Chain A
Amino acid sequence: MAFQSSKILALAVSGLALALASCSGGGADGAAKGDGVAVGVLQSLTGTMAISEITVKNAEMLAIDEINAAGGVLGKKITALVEDGASDPSTFAQKASKLIEDGGVATVFGGWTSASRKAMLPVFERTGNLLWYPVQFEGNECSPNIMYSGAQPNQQALPALEWAVKQGYKSYFLVGSDYVYPRTANLILKKHIEKGGMAVAGEAYVPLGGTDFSGVIAKIQSAKPAIVINTLNGDSNVAFFKQMQAAGLSPKTLPVMSFSIGEQEAQAMGAALVEGSYATWNYFQSLALPDNARFIEAYRKKFGADAAITDPMVHGYLNVWAWKAAAEKAGGFDPEAVRKAAAALGGFDTPMGKVSFAPNQSLVQKAYVGKLKGDGQFEIIADSGADIAPEPYDPLAFPGKTCKL
């Protein structure tokens, strides 16, 4: 048996050596390479999150192509190293260090779930690199090595609540997928609902991807709320709305405000199912702005004439442009200098209007409330008016916490 094992072991390790050799052979394009600059694009191209993240990857690649077509950054063409996070946080961390340590990228655009961002954060802090994160999240984080362009809770959840209060809704039922964003967003919402003297009629969570809502709907029926705040993710939304409808609760009889249903999700679910429900985002495809029209046209030209455009895509797109502007302001690609320059950029034009980065490296932006129409587009029915400064730590829910950079 000893001989047998040794032979197999020999096979094993020679295979391993080969594989490692081929691994280390690739991607040695450094940021410092004469005629170009390498950046990482790290989204899930496979797994449950791929459906959403591929569109963000597309938007990021579009921005890179546009910048290259216009002459690049500081006279250098951008080379994008694309990696697959595979919807798995540890893979995100692994690929982030691959991009930075083996690929030598100047910065990385990517991430979607909080889990992926949390897993990548130590990698960026250890290597001193910079991540541009494009999705709305639960706040409570503030790293010098991440630029957060997606909404903080006070830029999406709280404006939605303010709108609901204005409509006169007094009793709220919170439904969410069982993960970090819904639970933390709801924690913040609950504090604000109670402070406003209103009632939380109930709160229910369903495992990610869960499709049985019979119990949750029974609880909603027995609690009789005025409005449902929905933070469900992905496929669960389809099951939720179908089973609500089967139980005789359509968005017309019981209003639903969602934080994770955008144009793409509405299109996939069949807009008829969710018609009349509400959503709050910092961007809707229906925003009537010239920059937006231009962006939509460019994206559709490249990725399909009926592609839906969503909030995270625009954030991914503007991240790349913001990085370019910051690098030019800083006069180089050093992440430390770039992030400081980004926070001092002032307002810049994007498909969602003029935005800027605050000193805490999150985006100053407006919030819009949309009502879903039968064609899968949102009719914008309210907005926050002024730009909202990002607050990573909600003062009511997490008193005494501040962002220290």
Chain B
Amino acid sequence: MPDAAIAIPPRATERRLPGARLRRFVPWALLALAIAAPFLLSAYNLNLLARFMAMAILALGLVLIWGHGGILSLGQGVFFGLGGYAIAMHMKLADLPAGELPDFMVWSGRESLPFWWQPFASPAFTLAAILIVPALVAALFAWAVFHRRVGGTYFALITQALALAFATLLTSRQDVTGGFNGLTDFYSVFGFGLSRPAVAKGLYWVTLAILCLAFIGLRLLLASRFGMLLRAVRDGENRARFLGYSPTPFKVVAFAIAGLLAGVAGALFTLHAGVVAPALVGVVPSIEMVVWVAIGGRYSLAGAILGALAVNLARDGISSAMPELWLYLIGALFILVVTLLPNGLAGFARARFGGEGRA
């Protein structure tokens, strides 16, 4: 792929630009603004921003696997859902009077708590599950597919089927998953009442901190030897193989990290949205996750954050005002970005404002 060069653009011309020094302060100013957001925004808008930031964490994972690994996953909703359901199960159990069952189990005719629900009563187990389960499932799935050298388009199609199967399974096992309704009606997490404004602010800062952490971590990872080899595998799997590197471990590890980020994103999203349901993890939401990153810029971490925030905000605004228009708009935007701006808005910004003269 010729795009590799774009992924790490030359920086030499940069310093000559006027205002370059000023720009160095921009990220810090923005960070300060983001930290101050709870004091600037209404409760509703803060909640919205927090949700979209959670989604941005997932988008970062897509930059790793899709932009730098060449792996297109149309099934990130699965890992998002695993994280979301893990925290939701904990919250369902935490608010429960002793000896009672979660409401949906009662009306589904279940008489006892399934054994695999029980450990989720423990906060420590839940946190561990959020970190481990999505990553582990992602690793196992990726290994099963990649070690037989199935990749590319096949992989994308299989991940889409995985998203369908996951959503179908969640829907059909209503007595243990809450079915189509999903899990909702939470009152507290780890002892903090969710309706308190202070808790909402705290959760926002936690989300922001995790987003920053993921951003920094991935930047280091992409700049490391691992990142380089991942790009090498993307650009020529067999070349990497001849040089003595087996591509499978790189792809599996990258996919597992993306799975981990998706799981954390799902857990945070569930906290902010107050609901997790199959409709949030199925085929269409999984593709939409790719849309954020395609529009923001698949090679750029900052671009992915931009994409996730911008697309979701636009949807919130436009779909209320003109619901029919939204689908045409997102469809057309997607076609245009993919065909004309494969590096997304980030690539466009670089070409337009970066002074490198490449379009």
Q: Are A4 and B11 in contact (CB under 8 A)?
A: yes
Contact B309 A12, beta carbon cutoff 8 Å: yes
Determine whether A180 belongs to the interface, using a CB cutoff of 8 Å to chain B: yes
Q: Does B310 count as interface, using CB distance less than 8 angstroms? A: yes
Contacting pair A102 B280 (CB below 8 A): no
A7 CA / B20 CA spacing, docked (Å): 10
A residues 195-224 with Cβ under 8 Å of B? 205, 207-208
Q: Does B209 make an interface contact (CB < 8 A)? A: no
B49 beta carbon closer than 8 Å to chain A: yes
Cβ of B168 and Cβ of A207 under 8 Å apart? Answer: yes
- Binary per-residue interface labels of chain B (304-318) against chain A in the complex, 1 for a CB within 8 Å, 0 otherwise: 011001100110110
Number of chain A interface residues as a range = 35 or more
**Residues of the B chain whose Cβ atoms lie less than 8 Å from the Cβ of A208:** 171, 180
Given the complex of chains A and B, what is the CA–CA distance between A6 and B24 in angstroms?
Answer: 7
Judged by a CB distance under 8 angstroms, whether B181 is at the interface is yes
Which residues of chain B have C-beta atoms less than 8 A from A293's C-beta? Answer: none
Assembled-state Cα–Cα distance A87/B11 (Å): 46
Alpha-carbon separation in the docked complex, A97 to B302 (Å): 29
Within 8 A of B (CB), among A1-42: 1, 3-13, 15-17, 19-20, 22-24
Contact B45–A46 (Cβ < 8 Å): no
Asked if A184 meets B108 with Cβ closer than 8 Å, knowing A16-B310, A94-B48, the reply is: yes
A398 interface residue per 8 A CB criterion: yes
- Flag if A3 contacts B20 (CB, 8 Å): yes
Count residues on chain B whose CB falls below 8 Å from chain A CBs. 74
Kindly state the separation between the CA atoms of A398 and B185 in the bound complex, as whole angstroms.
20
Contact A118 B171 (CB under 8 A): no
Q: Which of B9, B34, B104, B317 contacts A4 (CB 8 A)?
A: B9
What residues of A have a CB within 8 angstroms of the CB of B274 in the complex? 93, 119, 122-123
Tell whether, in the assembled complex, residue A140 and residue B106 are in contact, meaning their CB atoms are under 8 Å apart: yes
Q: Given A13-B33, A122-B186: A45 and B323 within 8 A (CB)?
A: yes
Residues on the A chain within 8 Å of B9, using CB: 1, 4
A179 to B33 Cα, complex, angstroms: 43
A183 touches B174 (CB 8 A): yes
> Is there contact, CB below 8 Å, between B184 and A101?
no
What are the residues of chain A within 8 A of B124 when measuring CB–CB?
Answer: none
Residue in A closest to B346 when the chains form the complex, CB atoms:
A8
The answer to whether A9 touches B30, judged by C-beta atoms less than 8 angstroms apart, is yes
| SS of B interface (majority) | helix
The reply to whether B313 and A23 form a contact with Cβ atoms under 8 Å apart is yes
For A187, the closest partner residue in chain B by CB is B109
Give min CB distance, B174 to chain A, whole Å: 5
The answer to the question of B83 belonging to the interface, with a C-beta cut-off of 8 Å to chain A, is: no
Q: Which of A8, A13, A397 contacts B34 (CB 8 A)?
A: A13
Q: Which residues of A contact B277 (CB under 8 A)?
A: 89-90, 115, 119
Shortest Cβ distance from A110 into chain B, in angstroms? 13
> A11 — nearest CB in chain B belongs to which residue?
B349
Q: Is B201 an interface residue (CB 8 A)?
A: no
Q: Does A121 contact B (CB under 8 A)?
A: yes
Enumerate A64-110 residues with CB–CB distance to B below 8 Å: 82-84, 86-90, 93-95, 97-98, 101-102
Known: A7-B26, A101-B42. A19 touches B317 (CB 8 A): yes
Interface string of B90-128 (1 = CB under 8 A from A): 000000000000011011110000000000000000000
**B309 to chain A: which residues have CB within 8 Å?**
12, 15-16
Hey, which chain B residues are within 8 Å of A4, CB to CB? 9, 11, 14, 300, 302, 350, 354
Interface string of A159-196 (1 = CB under 8 A from B): 00000000000000000001110011001000000000
In the complex, are the beta carbons of B107 and A118 less than 8 A apart? no
**Is B302 in contact with A183, judged by CB distance below 8 angstroms?**
no
Tell me the smallest distance from the CB of A397 to a CB of chain B, in Å. Answer: 7
Across the interface, which residues of A come within 8 angstroms of B106, CB to CB? 140, 398, 401
Q: Count CB-based A-B contacts (< 8 Å).
A: 209
Is A404 on the interface with B (CB-CB < 8 A)? no
| Any B CB within 8 A of the CB of A294 | no
Q: Is the CB of A24 within 8 A of B41?
A: yes
Nearest chain-B residue to A46 (Cβ)? Answer: B323
Whether, in the assembled complex, B303 has its beta carbon less than 8 Å from a beta carbon of chain A, the answer is yes
Give Cα A102 to B45, complex, Å: 9
B297 at the A interface (CB under 8 A): yes
Partner of B172, one of A90, A141, A178: A178
> Contact: A118 with B185, CB < 8 Å?
yes
Q: A1-B11, A12-B305, A183-B108 are in contact. Are A7 and B349 (CB under 8 A)?
A: yes
Task: Give A86 to B315 CA distance when docked, in angstroms.
Answer: 11
Query: Which of B179, B305, B349 lies at the interface centre, i.e. has the most chain A CB atoms within 10 A of its CB?
Result: B179
Cβ < 8 Å to A, chain B residues 1-35: 8-9, 11, 14, 20, 23-24, 26-27, 30, 33-34
Residues of A within 8 A of B180 (CB): 113-115, 178-180, 208
Nearest residue (CB) in A for B172 is A178
Given contacts A88-B279, A88-B280, A97-B44, contact A11 B345 (CB under 8 A): yes
**Chain A residues with CB under 8 A of B182:** 89, 115, 118-119
- Asked whether B275 lies within 8 Å of A89 as measured between CB atoms, the reply is yes
Contact of A207 with B310 in the complex, beta carbons under 8 Å: no
> How far, in angstroms, from A10 to B273 measured CA to CA in the complex?
27
The complex places the Cα of A139 from the Cα of B104 at a distance, in Å, of 11
- A314–chain B nearest beta-carbon distance, Å: 24
Given A24-B41, A101-B44, A119-B275, verify A140-B103 contact (CB < 8 Å).
yes
Instruction: Known A-B contacts: A10-B30, A139-B107. Give 7 more (CB < 8 A).
Output: A5-B300, A8-B349, A19-B310, A45-B323, A89-B279, A119-B182, A123-B274
Residues of A within 8 A of B (CB): 1, 3-13, 15-17, 19-20, 22-24, 45-46, 50, 82-84, 86-90, 93-95, 97-98, 101-102, 113-115, 118-119, 121-123, 126, 138-141, 178-180, 183-184, 187, 205, 207-208, 397-398, 401
- The 13 sampled A-B contact pairs (Cβ below 8 Å) are A1-B9, A1-B11, A7-B354, A8-B345, A13-B34, A15-B309, A19-B310, A50-B323, A118-B185, A123-B274, A140-B103, A183-B108, A184-B108
